[in-house]
Structure 1
């Protein structure tokens, strides 16, 4: 199984998911750096993602949408805050309206991804930090934990 653990931390306003893969660190890095690969796993299987723009540089922006089984579109955006290939990536993540503009009422989640070699395998730890306890609870209630677990469970097939 790809996902090894998930943890919600109310005190730190964070959600962490740890996954391990039978692949080299550089290969796992590519699932973040290449938008076509990212589309194959960012979002649960029933909500596939399409990246409309993707500037994978510090300060760069990405915009995407996911389409649900009933055709509903959910839009999102990233602002890449730091990149240290192939081990660390940080970005601000938020919801967007139909025009791709940030939805302020949903807040911003700050994500940090660390990728490390664990003896020929690779561990990827993704930590999302929230602005408030209310925002964190809202994201958890919307299915963030299940959605990220399902999304990351698609990575093994992609890495093959």
Structure 2
């Protein structure tokens, strides 16, 4: 389905990225795609990379520890600490780069993610706000290819949702 909303806005004044994306799927399926590791791992990485969840405890105070695995076997680890969960409405988490032993890597920027889910006439809209502590952190994240990678990742999610809907 074409003509679905997709905005990716970088606001340097607030060190924040705003992403608004619509999907031709009901809210429960889109929610599951963000909250169930067996679905999340099918799309949460820009190809040819893949997402591999090592452990996930989806609850407030819980976390997801995962690796982005590259085509040559290289692994980059991240931690998401869940701070707020309102089923099929909101998810907030703190995102950190880490090492394989779950130690946060302070050499890379952290960010705070806020996702809001809504549905109208069978179209689920996800509003994503990604806050960085400083403009330098935001710029580092963007220079690492975040815009291109996250855009590709959301496109993979769109295709996955179409397949899951059938």
Q: TM-score range by the shorter chain?
A: over 0.9
1:100-132: per-residue Cα shift (whole Å, max 9, x none)? Answer: 211122132000111111322111111110011
**1:32 maps to which residue?**
34
1:63-74 alignment, distance < 5 Å? 63-74=65-76
**1:91–1:111 Cα contact (<8 Å) kept:** yes
**1:141 maps to which residue?**
143
**TM-score with structure 2 length normalisation?**
0.91
How far apart in 2 are the matches of 1:12 and 1:53?
32
* Partner-residue secondary structure (3-state), 2:45: coil
The Cα shift of 1:3 comes to 6.4
The Cα shift of 1:16 comes to 1.6
Structural RMSD (CA): 1.3
* Partner-residue secondary structure (3-state), 1:102: coil
How far apart in 2 are the matches of 1:119 and 1:3?
14
1:96 to 72, 86, 98: 98
1:121 to 117, 120, 123: 123
**2:109–2:141 Cα contact (<8 Å) kept:** no
**1:111–1:126 Cα contact (<8 Å) kept:** yes
**2:24–2:123 Cα contact (<8 Å) kept:** yes
1:54 to 34, 53, 56: 56
**2:77 maps to which residue?**
75
* Partner-residue secondary structure (3-state), 1:15: strand
Q: Mark the CA change 1:3 to 1:106 in structure 2 (over 3 Å): closer, same or farther.
A: farther
How far apart in 1 are the matches of 2:5 and 2:34?
17
Q: Which runs of 5+ in 1 are unaligned?
A: none
The Cα shift of 1:157 comes to 2.5
The Cα shift of 1:47 comes to 1.5
**1:107 maps to which residue?**
109
**2:44–2:50 Cα contact (<8 Å) kept:** yes
Q: Which runs of 5+ in 2 are unaligned?
A: none
